[in-house]
């Protein structure tokens, strides 16, 4: 740990400051440097099938499934994602790729803050998210639209987990309103992909 990391740990604080903003900016810039070429990548076959799958039952039914998530309609979060893009951009692939990359880029500050909460170390958080940005398997999430569900799920999953740990790290229990916020993020993750079912095991 650096001196500033030790001081933050002693103070029991993990609040963002200018140094953290600088670190996150570098991480996002590094990530975008390698991922922006994917904007011209076009559609994969599975993605066209998914757009049709969500469109064919009717937009209202697919979108309403995000509220009535217990009815078992598959991945309604993906329906909201695809149908919104399809409504505004049709089958122009570039906005889909931009949205996909933007979701992943928006996950970087969340992952960084989560690492800060867990380690109380700016340097460890930076290196952890740097590995996240550079990981070879990330290519699937960037260049293949079929993995949009994974990106959406990851965004809400890490947002819910970070929100929970942010509160518990202060030695507090979640109040009813905070539980509603946490559960809303969790449901959004579940609506995107079923793998979010693991979150309760993580926080217990």
Are residues 161 and 188 in contact, defined by beta-carbon separation less than 8 angstroms?
A: no
pLDDT, tens only, 82-108: 999 999 999 999 999 999 999 999 999
What is the reported pLDDT for 153?
Answer: 97
Nearby residues of 115 by Cβ (< 8 Å), 6 or more positions away:
124, 125, 128, 129
Contact 189, 156 (CB under 8 A): yes
> If you write DSSP's letter for every residue of 137-194 in order, what string do you get?
THHHHHH-GGGHHHHHHHHHHHHHHHHHHHHHTTT-PPPHHHHHHHHHHHHHHHHH-G
Rounded CA gap, 192 and 81, in Å?
9
Q: For residue 20, what pLDDT is reported?
A: 95
User: Dihedrals φ, ψ of 200, to 5°?
Assistant: -60, -35
* Residue 4 counted as domain residue: no
Q: What is the tally of helices (H) and strands (E) in the chain?
A: 11, 0
pTM: 0.89
- Could you tell me the residue range of the domain that residue 81 belongs to? 17-203
Q: Percentage of residues in the chain with pLDDT exceeding 90?
A: 69
1 part of a folded domain: no
What confidence tens digit (pLDDT) does each residue in 40-86 have? Answer: 988 988 899 999 998 988 888 888 888 887 776 789 999 999 999 99
Nearest to 194 by CA among 69, 105, 86: 69
Number of domains in the chain: 1
Residue 151 has pLDDT above 60, yes or no: yes
Listed residue (196, 93, 204) closest to 149, CA to CA: 196
The pLDDT of residue 76 is 92
CA dist 182 and 174 (Å) reads 9
Position 8 in a domain: no
2 falls within a domain: no
- Residue 70 has a pLDDT of 77
Buried b (16+ CB within 10 A) or exposed e, 72-87: ebebbbbbbbbbebbe
pLDDT band, residue 10 (cuts 50/70/90): very low
Residue 184's pLDDT band (cuts 50, 70, 90): very high
Evaluate whether residue 125 is within a structural domain.
Answer: yes
Contact indicator for 101, 32 with CB cutoff of 8 Å:
yes
């Amino acid at each position: 740990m650096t001196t500033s990391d030790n001081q933050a740990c002693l103070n029991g604080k993990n609040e963002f400051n200018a140094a953290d903003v600088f670190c996150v900016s570098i991480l996002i810039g590094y990530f975008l440097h390698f991922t922006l070429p994917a904007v011209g990548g076009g559609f994969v076959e599975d993605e066209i099938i998914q757009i049709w799958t969500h469109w064919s039952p009717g937009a209202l039914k697919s979108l309403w499934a995000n509220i009535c998530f217990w009815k078992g309609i598959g991945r309604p979060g993906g329906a909201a994602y695809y149908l919104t893009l399809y409504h505004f951009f049709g089958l122009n692939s570039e906005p889909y790729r931009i949205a996909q990359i933007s979701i992943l880029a928006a996950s970087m500050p969340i992952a960084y803050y989560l690492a800060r909460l867990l380690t109380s170390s700016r340097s460890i958080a930076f290196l952890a998210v740097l590995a996240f940005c550079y990981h070879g398997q990330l290519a699937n999430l960037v260049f293949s639209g079929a993995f949009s569900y994974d990106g959406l799920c990851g965004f809400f999953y890490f947002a819910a987990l970070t929100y929970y740990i942010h509160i518990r790290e202060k030695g507090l229990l979640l109040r009813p309103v905070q539980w509603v916020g946490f559960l809303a993020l969790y449901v959004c993750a579940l609506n995107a992909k079923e793998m979010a079912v693991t979150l309760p095991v993580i926080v217990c």
